[in-house]
Amino acid sequence: MAYTEMAPETVLTLGFAAPEVAEGNWIVRWDRDGVDAAALCAATVSSFVDFHTSGTTGPSRCWRRVRDNVWLEAGMLAELVAPERPEAVVSFVPSVHLFGALVSVLVPAHLGVPVWYRTGFLGELPRLDQRRVVVMATPWIFQLLLENLDWVRRFDHVTVLYGGAMLPATAGRFLAEVGPERALIVEVMGSTEAGGIATRRWRAGEPPAWTLFRDVSFAHPELEPAAEEVPLVVRSPRLAFRPGAEPPQTWHADDRISPLGERSFRLLGRTSRLVKVNGRRVNLDEAEHTLRAVLDCADLALQPVPDDLIGEHVELLVVLEPGTELSELDLPTAFRKLGVRPKRVRVVDRIERSALGKARAGQRSSQIPNTETAEVVTA
């Protein structure tokens, strides 16, 4: 696979949403002598930068950010991976979104290292002389790394910087395959509206609790450390704002947390992904991981649906492997492990996802090829 070399000032002048930047395969050498990344950013990037939400939970919306805050956040992300002494970055995150603009363009600029950016799952991974790398990842990248372990094992150390949907099960398998001495996952929790909120690092076992970014604080009026469950509300100087409006003082995230102190918490799940079925709370993101371990299919997703009797329920969307049928999947075992029987199971051609791997809300029934055979009512 060919990578087009672009000068640092070129990628910044084109802009994060330019097709040449967001959709091409390129390399930028931030390690060249004489490159002043901070000065270049100030001279070429507009004072305000617009990003759009992914549209996973509703219509895509424009959110405006101050350029200096974007540069500041990239610096904080660079600080998260700097202890591992990275010498290069390989990124798969589209720069059209805030997280992609940060990790594909501005974090390598802060680190002063070359970055290879590529789109798509297919094709040869770049051949690097550097021995310590950071991989900027979306959910499917862990599977790509597992399929290219020979490439991974060429390096002395691989750090995966990840932000987006809940980590897939392949993340744990990647760490186990490569080993804690040579692999690290750094997770970032945030949004287009709030930017980075919290982070955590792990090499093995269960991921630890989340810690707030150094410029972020809880904004609950009276947050009790012993509270079992509260919404995530934060203050941050980097909050985005709608064009023509003032930046908000606080941000109410679509997440429920259990506080563990003044600066850390356990994430219970996104509010929109927490459903009570017959009194049992189901975290749909965790439930999907449970199902993936049992069901041999190309893709799956759980989505909340209304129910006339119990108020809310869930349905399971399944993308079958070519040449297979729904009856071949071990649904009874999957439902036993899940502890809940979905209201219905739908076979769909594909599951619409954002660039960061989040399933879009309200998957259309028109994706069902044959409703007589592709839908199974279970409740």
Mean pLDDT of all residues in 278-300: 86
pLDDT digits (tens, 9 = 90+) for 12-63: 999 999 999 999 899 999 999 999 999 999 999 999 999 988 655 557 789 9
Q: Is residue 281 very low, low, confident or very high in pLDDT (cuts 50, 70, 90)?
A: confident
Q: Which of 286, 301, 307, 311 is nearest to 348 (CA)?
A: 301
pLDDT > 80? residue 123? no
pLDDT > 80? residue 286? yes
Q: What is the pTM of this model?
A: 0.80
Q: Is residue 366 very low, low, confident or very high in pLDDT (cuts 50, 70, 90)?
A: very low
Q: Is residue 369 very low, low, confident or very high in pLDDT (cuts 50, 70, 90)?
A: very low
Query: What six digits make up the tokens of 10?
Result: 């070129």
Give dist(CA 39, CA 37) in Å, integer: 6
Which has the minimum average pLDDT: 64-78, 252-266, 349-363?
349-363
Rg (CA), the chain: 21
Query: What six digits make up the tokens of 174?
Result: 């990647």
* More confidently predicted of 180 and 170: 180
3-class SS letters over 9-59: HHHHHHCCCCHHHHCCCEEEECCCCCCCHHHHHHHHCCCEEEEECCCCCCC
Strand partners, 184: 159
Inter-residue contact 197 to 253 (CB < 8 Å):
yes
pLDDT digits (tens, 9 = 90+) for 188-221: 999 999 999 999 999 998 889 999 999 999 997 6
Inter-residue contact 359 to 352 (CB < 8 Å):
yes
Give dist(CA 136, CA 218) in Å, integer: 28
Mean pLDDT of all residues in 317-331: 93
DSSP, residue by residue, 53-102: ---SSSS--EEEEEHHHHHHHHHHHHHHHGGG---EEEE-S-TTSHHHII
Mean pLDDT of all residues in 168-178: 90
Give dist(CA 152, CA 148) in Å, integer: 7
pLDDT digits (tens, 9 = 90+) for 222-253: 666 566 788 999 999 999 999 999 999 999 99
SS3 202: strand
Q: Which of 137, 122, 54 is nearest to 92 (CA)?
A: 137
pLDDT digits (tens, 9 = 90+) for 90-105: 999 999 999 999 999 9
Q: How much is the pLDDT for 261?
A: 86
pLDDT > 50? residue 318? yes
Q: How much is the pLDDT for 18?
A: 95
The fraction of the chain above a pLDDT of 70, given in percent, is 90
Which range among 53-57, 180-184, 268-272, 349-353 has the greatest average pLDDT? 180-184
Q: Is residue 166 very low, low, confident or very high in pLDDT (cuts 50, 70, 90)?
A: confident
Mean pLDDT of all residues in 3-19: 96
Inter-residue contact 266 to 210 (CB < 8 Å):
yes
Q: How much is the pLDDT for 55?
A: 58
Q: List the domains of the chain with CATH numbers.
A: 4-269 (3.40.50.12780), 278-377 (3.30.300.30)
Which has the minimum average pLDDT: 34-43, 124-133, 168-177?
168-177
pLDDT > 90? residue 184? yes
